[in-house]
Amino acid sequence: MAAASQAEYELLLEQAKALTAGESDWIANTGNVSALLKAGMKNVNFAGVYRFEKGELILGPFQGMPACVHIQLGKGVCGKAALEKKTQIVANVHDFPGHIACDSASNSEIVVP
């Protein structure tokens, strides 16, 4: 299946801005944006956020299958993104050293810190 077009990504961004405009509640905003991404992107089985608390990542609002609740910095794709403060794009997670298989249906990940 073809990747989303630039126009589709731009539309999602505009929709996310509209959903969060005037709202300061982190849970409400991340919940709504997670739902928007899950519904608006093809072949996505998880869209959500983790929060950094007490030295680890802890699951926040998301859409999709159940996910790992605690992730150590540097562990898996999410932990690496958080540790390096750098977006991680992994086309095949099965080739990623230390991948955490929270959902066996996940084959690739994009993680933005």
Domains in the chain (CATH in brackets) are 6-111 (3.30.450.40)
**pTM to 2 decimal places:** 0.85
Q: For 6-62, how does the pLDDT look when each residue is reduced to its tens digit (9 = 90+)?
A: 898 899 999 999 999 999 999 999 999 999 999 999 889 999 999 999 999 999 999
CA end-to-end span of the chain: 27
* Contact of 79 with 91, CB cutoff 8 Å: no
Please tell me what DSSP assigns to residue 21. Answer: T
The arithmetic mean of pLDDT across residues 92-105, rounded, is 86
pLDDT tops 60 at residue 83: yes
77-112 as b/e, with b when 16 or more CB fall inside 10 Å? bbbbbbeeeeebebeeeeebeebbebeeebeebebe
The arithmetic mean of pLDDT across residues 88-108, rounded, is 88
